[in-house]
Amino acid sequence: MDLEQSIAVLSKTEKLGQENDKLKSTMMSVIKENRDLKTKMSNFSRDALEELTAKGTTSLMQNTFKEKQFRDDLQQTRRQHRTSSPVDFRSFLESSLDTGRVEETGRESNQAEFAPGVKSPKRLLGEIPFQVDRRILSYIFQGHKRLYGFTVANIPNKIIEVSTHPVTGEIDEGYRLHLTQRYEDLKDKLDQLGYKMALHPRFSEFVINTYGILKDTSDELKSKATIYNDSEFLRKVILTIAPRKLHEDMLILLSCLCNMAGKDGMPLFLW
């Protein structure tokens, strides 16, 4: 190999070395950039995770709060609507009567004005639901003269009882069906007038126990028979004497009484 060729080889070798160094430098730069990128990605992922976690926690807390608030609101709504349910009907009536006591001062003169000669106008409030209950029981259990222990609330149980032989336990299916049909028929008719079997039997019981009823076979009943069977007079009694919160249900009872009396052709009050 001559000198010229040797110089050419050395020149190529040097050039290759320079290119190799440049490649190494480029590779190192790429490696560094890759490391920096990984670090940034790691930091970004951690920050993002923390942010998502924080958002998730906040969202969870908000949802939990909203759910708790919803449950509280639902519970409050239930409490507000319980006054019409049989469970808390007694407390509703007691509060109504408390309201009525506040109004009574101005009512005494009104009672004397619209019911002259009536000794116990308040008892008419109890007599109305008493007559309704009596009418219902008499309609369903027509063949029973004595209804001691019978109430509107226990009609289904009494139907079973009277249609079962007390000694043999044999069931009179025909009689049970007859009583059940009369009960369902009357219940549907009263329901159209606003009477609810789940509500008004207990309402009637409380009003009767609170105000009492008229005394049987007294001279007053005989002398006041005409006015006591005047539906408009009884309506005025309710609106004048009863607490305002009781008006609606008392008027429903009066409507039922008038309807049943119209069907059987008998007076409103039966003694």
Mean pLDDT confidence for 77-105: 49
Mean pLDDT confidence for 247-266: 96
More confident residue, 114 or 35: 35
Mean pLDDT confidence for 49-74: 49
- For residue 162, pLDDT over 70 is answered with yes
Of the listed ranges 27-36, 64-73, 203-212, the one predicted with least confidence? 64-73
pLDDT tens digits, one per residue of 131-147: 999 999 999 999 888 89
Residue 163 CA to residue 173 CA, distance in Å, equals: 7
pLDDT of res. 210: 96
Q: How confident is the model at residue 226 (pLDDT cuts 50, 70, 90)?
A: confident
Mean pLDDT confidence for 231-240: 95
pLDDT of res. 80: 38
Of the listed ranges 218-222, 243-247, 249-253, the one predicted with least confidence? 218-222
Burial class (CB in 10 A: 0-12, 13-18, 19+), 89: buried
More confident residue, 54 or 231: 231
For residues 112 and 237, the answer to whether their CB atoms sit within 8 Å is no
Q: How confident is the model at residue 68 (pLDDT cuts 50, 70, 90)?
A: low
Model pTM score:
0.62
Q: What is the 3-state secondary structure (H, E, C) of 17-51?
A: HHHHHHHHHHHHHHHHHHHHHHHHHHHHHHHHHHH
Tokens 């924080």 sit on residue? 54
- For residue 38, pLDDT over 50 is answered with yes
- For residue 266, pLDDT over 50 is answered with yes
pLDDT of res. 120: 76
Q: Which segment, 46-50, 70-74, 104-108, 139-143, is predicted with the most confidence on average?
A: 139-143
Tokens 């940034």 sit on residue? 40
Which pair of tokens denotes residue 186?
């009357």
Count of helix runs (H) and strand runs (E) in the chain = 11, 0
